[in-house]
Amino acid sequence: MSNEDATVGGGAGAARRNPRQGVGGSPVGSTLSIVLAAVAVIAGFLILRNLTQEDSSVVGSGDPPGQVVVAEGTTTTIDVGVSPTTAAPTTTAPAVLVTEGAVVVVANGNTVGGSAGRMSETLATAGYNMGTPVNAGQTIDDSIVYFDPANPSAQAVAESVGRTLGNVSVLTVSTPAPTENGSLGEAGVLVVLGNSQADKTLLQLAEAAGLAATELGSAPAVAGSDVLAPVDPTIEETGE
């Protein structure tokens, strides 16, 4: 029998068929297993990457305190060790009043007798150098403070007095002066006290003007400021 005849028969002596071979001579089953394993590895890597990106904004147990990963490759640092602070409220220091350089005289320009003398006492305790109170030439509702431009310090003192009285008007004195005799006398600053400010405390004047008490200003300590100039007995403050 020839070799060809031996391989054709289906008997026990027939030679066993070799398995199918893939590229390069490797078995097809082995190649398929390798491909499937590679696909599984790639799929697992992609799933793990997606999970990592979804959790990138959450601080993990391994993240340093105060650091949050907000994007791939980016780290934002939050100082968790410093407690928030509250800014202290700002306070406005009262303006310093100019009380030296001019004598202040109060003229009664209202209907309350004796109010010019009492306001002189009040302004003296605030540090002003007060002169003898007089009567004004007319009655007015709102007080006006006048200053003598010939005195270089009078305007600053007059503006301070105007603020102390609740921000009343401050003007250059006219000629004749708005006093009963038309003269300023010793005054560099003249306060014509109107009905609105007569017999009012400085706090009441501030409240009436819608101001805080500190906005009226603060005067430096003046030696002897609580001592009033003697009242001229020939002047009778009557009020009108």
> What average pLDDT score do residues 2-24 get?
49
Residue 109 lies in a domain: yes
Q: What is the pLDDT of residues 90-139, one digit of tens each?
A: 555 556 889 999 999 999 999 999 999 999 999 999 999 999 999 999 99
pLDDT (0 to 100) of residue 208: 84
Q: What is the CATH number of the domain that holds 137?
A: 3.30.70.2390
Whether residue 125 is found in the same domain as residue 208: yes
CA distance 217 to 101: 17
Whether residue 29 is found in the same domain as residue 117: no
Whether residue 48 is found in the same domain as residue 143: no
Cβ-count burial of 98 within 10 angstroms (0-12 exposed, 13-18 middle, 19+ buried)? Answer: buried
% of the chain at pLDDT higher than 90: 43
Residue 199 lies in a domain: yes
Show the DSSP H helices in the chain as ranges: 3-8, 28-54, 115-125, 154-164, 202-208
Assess whether pLDDT exceeds 50 at residue 55: yes
Assess whether pLDDT exceeds 70 at residue 48: yes
Domain count for the chain = 2
The CA distances from residue 96 to 156, 171, 218, 221, in Å, are 11, 20, 5, 11
pLDDT (0 to 100) of residue 66: 53
Q: pLDDT category, 209, cuts 50, 70, 90?
A: confident
Whether residue 36 is found in the same domain as residue 122: no
Domain range spanning residue 32? 25-55
Whether residue 121 is found in the same domain as residue 207: yes
Q: pLDDT category, 231, cuts 50, 70, 90?
A: very low
Assess whether pLDDT exceeds 70 at residue 189: yes
Whether residue 150 is found in the same domain as residue 211: yes
Q: pLDDT category, 155, cuts 50, 70, 90?
A: very high
Tell me the whole-structure pTM to 2 decimals. 0.55
Q: 56-70, 160-174, 183-197: which range is least confident on average?
A: 56-70
Residue 62 lies in a domain: no
Whether residue 147 is found in the same domain as residue 50: no
Residue 82 lies in a domain: no
Whether residue 29 is found in the same domain as residue 132: no
Residue 75 lies in a domain: no
Among 201, 104, 108, residue whose Cα is nearest residue 153: 104
Whether residue 131 is found in the same domain as residue 208: yes
Whether residue 207 is found in the same domain as residue 125: yes
Q: pLDDT category, 228, cuts 50, 70, 90?
A: very low
* Average pLDDT of the chain to the nearest whole number: 74
Residue 18 lies in a domain: no
Residue 122 lies in a domain: yes
Q: Which two tokens stand for residue 177?
A: 């002066």
> What average pLDDT score do residues 205-223 get?
63
The CA distances from residue 221 to 97, 186, 196, 201, in Å, are 11, 23, 28, 19
